[in-house]
Amino acid sequence: MATNETEFTALPGGDRFYNGPYDLVGYYGYWWSATENSATNAWYRSLGYDGTSTYRTSSNKDCGRSVRCVRD
């Protein structure tokens, strides 16, 4: 069960393919990392709506993912 103890409300905003269509809105959330994997790819994390698993993988930077801004 999610507790939100980190105060990060991870809403499942889905993602956007490089050619425009959106996918999995309401089911998964995808957040870019600040870390590149290559000149054309960057790492991102995904979290399912049930909150039981997270994944780290990379994809083309042309895809649409959410970002989390953190104030210092």
Residue 1 predicted with pLDDT over 70 = no
Nearest-CA neighbor of 49 among 66, 27, 24? 27
Q: Give the whole-angstrom CA distance, residue 65 versus residue 8.
A: 16
Given pLDDT bands bounded at 50, 70 and 90, which one contains residue 8?
confident
Residue 51 predicted with pLDDT over 70 = no
58, two tokens? 């990379």
Q: Give the whole-angstrom CA distance, residue 28 versus residue 47.
A: 6
Q: Give the whole-angstrom CA distance, residue 29 versus residue 60.
A: 17
H helices present in the chain, as ranges:
none
pTM over 0.75: yes
- In tens, the pLDDT along 21-43 reads 999 998 899 999 989 999 999 99
